Amino acid sequence: MSAVFVTGATGTVGSAVVTHLLERGESVVAAALDVADAEKVPTGAETRLFEFGKPASDLRAALNDCDRMFLMRPPAIANVQRYLFPLVDVACEAGVRHIVFLSLQGVQANRSTPHHAVEAYLRRVDAPYTFLRPNFFAQNLSTTYARRIRETGEIFVPAGRSRTAFIDARDIGRVAAAVFTSPGHLRKAYTLSGEQSLSYKQVAEIMTEVLGRPIRYSRPSEREYLAALAAEGAPSDYLAVQKMIYRVVRMNVSALPNRMVRRLTGAPATRFTQFVRDHADVWTPNPAPG
């Protein structure tokens, strides 16, 4: 059997990878943490229960009959040496011929991130890797920040006047499927951005037009943003990560658009207006009970 083993298969990016591989006629084995998680796997994929950190025998069983692997780090896992490296080792021993790793934009210059450590390890063991280094997900607005936008009409992030070339996670799935099913991508690294560079003021304007109600970017300070998160009970390590992320954003590191999605898939990256149309229900206020 020639199948792609997809970690994180029920998440925002992983599910898109599964969907686009299936559309290309590929056999897919979707990793799920438990039975309830397995119910979220896109129809057409085989589901296998899987958990990082299990013994090598369990990891080998999960990869049985799979010759490729989509690897991503669960946000809760910081110790990649303990949880991700053993899976890489087992995959290499099992003859997996292609590992596509979901990394991070600018990771090559940021040694403090777990993604940097995973990239370095894949190189060190001479794994057959491809690195996908995406920009900020447009889906951050439809997940992490959706409730506040829905309830108050406010985008509340400390991005200042910076710009971001948002990438739609569905486009990452398209790219991964293309990379798995076409030659020439081994030991390559691709930075994935959208083709538009938008300020958050422009983001709010587009959302206002598409949703038909006012959405504003309030431009909070870093202190205001972190204080709001702390008041909601966010732990200190999460606050530290958010502080680092938006300092990088304000430096306009995420501002540059590119056409890598178009180059790798033959179709342009999803425009932000289309993304908002596709997710409009997420930001629609719940009607008051009658």
Beta bridge partners of 28: 4
Question: Is residue 287's pLDDT more than 80?
Answer: no
110 compared with 130, residue with greater pLDDT: 130
Comparing CA positions, the residue from 48, 53, 22 lying closest to residue 37 is: 48
Range of the domain at 203: 139-164+195-256+270-283
- pLDDT single digits (tens) 196-239: 999 999 999 999 999 999 999 999 999 999 999 999 998 887 88
Phi and psi, residue 27, nearest 5°? -80, 135
Residue showing tokens 């304007």:
205
pTM metric for this prediction: 0.93
Phi and psi, residue 245, nearest 5°? -60, -50
Count: domains in the chain: 2
Phi and psi, residue 88, nearest 5°? -60, -45
- Spatial separation of the C-alpha atoms in residues 170 and 269, rounded to whole Å: 9
Amino acid 290: pLDDT: 47
Based on the fold, state whether residues 90 and 144 are members of the same structural domain.
no
- pLDDT single digits (tens) 46-56: 999 999 999 99
Based on the fold, state whether residues 156 and 123 are members of the same structural domain.
no
Q: Say which CATH number the domain at 122 has.
A: 3.40.50.720
Based on the fold, state whether residues 221 and 88 are members of the same structural domain.
no
27 touches 3 (CB < 8 A): yes
129 compared with 243, residue with greater pLDDT: 129
285 touches 151 (CB < 8 A): yes
Residue 169 lies in a domain: no
129 touches 99 (CB < 8 A): yes
Beta bridge partners of 198: 164
* Residues in CB range of 151: below 8 A, 6 or more apart: 285
Question: Is residue 62's pLDDT more than 70?
Answer: yes
Amino acid 168: pLDDT: 98
Show the tokens assigned to 21.
Answer: 């591989």
Mean pLDDT, rounded, of the chain? 94
Q: Say which CATH number the domain at 215 has.
A: 3.90.25.10
Question: Is residue 289's pLDDT more than 80?
Answer: no
- pLDDT single digits (tens) 21-49: 999 999 999 999 888 888 888 899 999 99
Amino acid 4: pLDDT: 98
Based on the fold, state whether residues 115 and 94 are members of the same structural domain.
yes
- Spatial separation of the C-alpha atoms in residues 3 and 22, rounded to whole Å: 10
Comparing CA positions, the residue from 74, 88, 76 lying closest to residue 118 is: 88
Based on the fold, state whether residues 157 and 123 are members of the same structural domain.
no
Residue 72 lies in a domain: yes
Based on the fold, state whether residues 61 and 117 are members of the same structural domain.
yes
Residue 173 lies in a domain: no
What crossing angle do the helices spanning 169-181 and 12-23 adopt, rounded to 10°? 40
Counting Cα atoms < 13 Å in the Cβ hemisphere of 219 gives: 9
